[in-house]
Amino acid sequence: MKAIDTKDNQLYVEDIPVIQITKEYGSPAFIYSSKAINDNFQSYQSEIREGDLICYAVKANSNLHILKLLSDLGSGFDVVSGNELKRCLLAGADKNKIVFSGVAKTEEEITLAIENDILSINIESYGEFERILEVSKKLNKKVNCALRVNPDIAIGSHKYIQTGSKTSKFGLDKESVLKISSQCEIDGPIKLTSVASHIGSQISDENLILESVDYLIEIADELAKNGHNIEYLDIGGGLGIQYRDEEEGSPKILLEKVKELLSERDFKIILEPGRSVIGTAGILVSKVEYIKEAGEKKFAIIDAGMNDLIRPSLYEAWHKVIEVDHQNTDLDLYDLAGPVCETGDVLAKDRDLKIMPGDHVAFMDVGAYGSVMTSNYNSRLRPIELLVTKDKVQVIKRKESFEDIVALET
**Residues with catalytic roles:** 341
Return the residues of window 54-93 that contact ligand LLP according to CB under 6 A: 57, 59-60, 78
Q: Is 275 in the site for ligand LLP (CB under 6 A)?
A: yes
Q: Is 363 in the site for ligand LLP (CB under 6 A)?
A: no
Rank residues 344 and 357 by Cβ distance to ligand LLP and give the closer one: 344
Distances 87 to 79, 117, 222, 373 between C-alpha atoms, Å: 9, 16, 36, 16
Q: Is 151 in the site for ligand LLP (CB under 6 A)?
A: no
**Distance between CA atoms of residues 82 and 108, nearest Å:** 8
Q: How far is the CB of 385 from ligand LLP (least distance, A)?
A: 17
Rank residues 105 and 311 by Cβ distance to ligand LLP and give the closer one: 311
Residues 6+ apart with CB under 8 A from 54: 41, 44, 45, 48, 74, 75, 76, 270, 271, 273
Q: How far is the CB of 202 from ligand LLP (least distance, A)?
A: 6
Please pick, from the candidates 105, 311, 351, 380, the single residue that binds ligand LLP as defined by CB under 6 A: 311
Q: How far is the CB of 198 from ligand LLP (least distance, A)?
A: 4
> Following DSSP, what letter does each residue of 30-96 receive, concatenated?
EEEEHHHHHHHHHHHHTTPPTT-EEEEEGGG---HHHHHHHHHTT-EEEESSHHHHHHHHHTT--GG
Residues 6+ apart with CB under 8 A from 127: none
Peptide bond preceding 28: is omega within 30 degrees of 0, i.e. cis? yes
Contact range with ligand LLP by CB under 6 A, out of 90-98, 234-242, 374-382, 396-404 = 234-242
Q: Is 273 in the site for ligand LLP (CB under 6 A)?
A: yes
| Distance linking the first and last C-alpha atoms of the chain | 49
For the four alpha carbons of 154, 160, 164 and 167, in that order, the dihedral sign comes to positive
Q: Is 272 in the site for ligand LLP (CB under 6 A)?
A: yes
Q: Is 319 in the site for ligand LLP (CB under 6 A)?
A: no
Please pick, from the candidates 201, 212, 286, 371, the single residue that binds ligand LLP as defined by CB under 6 A: 201
- Which residues here bind ligand LLP, judged by CB under 6 A? 57, 59-60, 78, 101, 161, 163, 198, 201-202, 236-238, 272-276, 311, 315, 368-369
